[in-house]
C-alpha cells in the first residue's frame, strides 16, 4: 500500500492516527491477511479505543505487544501459520489488553507411546 484507498479515507479521515509508514513496522512482524483491512482496524483502534484501565492505546505499545505475542505464539507451536493470530484478529479481539510476558511455568514434554 502506497496511499490510502477511498475506503480507508472514508473510515479514518484524511489524517489517520497511524501513517502507512508506521503501519509497515507492525505489519512486518507477521504479514498475513488483508493489508488494507488490517491497516484500517489498527488505525481505528489507536484513534478511538482505550486500554482496560482507560488509558489510550499508543501505536508503539501495540507494536511491542504484538511483537511479543508473535514471538511467544510461534515458540509454542510447530505450525505457526495456523495458530498465530493475524494482526487484524488480534486487534479486533482487543488482545492488546492481555499480558504479553513469557509464561512462568515450564513446558512439560510428554512422551506418547
3-state helix, strand, coil in the chain (%, to 5): 50, 0, 45
Quick check: helix, strand or coil at residue 39? Answer: helix
Domain extent, residue 73, equals 6-97
102 belongs to a structural domain: no
80 belongs to a structural domain: yes
DSSP secondary structure, 4-21, as one string: --HHHHHHH-SS-SS-HH
Percent of residues, the chain, with pLDDT higher than 70: 86
92 belongs to a structural domain: yes
In the chain, count H helices and then E strands.
Answer: 6, 0
- pTM of the complete model: 0.80
pLDDT: is 99 or 48 the higher one?
48
Number of domains in the chain: 1
105 belongs to a structural domain: no
Place of cell 479521515: 13
Amino acid at each position: 500500500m502506497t496511499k490510502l484507498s477511498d475506503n480507508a479515507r472514508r473510515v479514518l479521515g484524511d489524517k489517520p492516527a497511524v501513517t502507512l509508514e508506521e503501519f509497515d513496522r507492525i505489519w512486518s512482524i507477521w504479514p498475513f491477511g488483508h493489508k488494507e483491512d488490517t491497516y484500517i482496524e489498527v488505525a481505528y483502534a489507536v484513534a478511538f479505543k482505550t486500554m482496560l484501565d482507560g488509558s489510550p492505546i499508543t501505536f508503539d505499545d501495540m507494536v511491542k505487544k504484538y511483537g511479543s505475542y508473535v514471538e511467544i505464539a510461534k515458540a509454542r507451536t510447530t505450525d505457526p501459520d495456523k495458530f498465530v493470530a493475524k494482526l487484524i484478529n488480534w486487534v479486533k479481539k482487543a488482545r492488546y489488553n492481555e499480558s504479553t510476558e513469557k509464561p512462568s511455568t515450564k513446558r512439560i514434554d510428554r512422551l506418547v507411546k
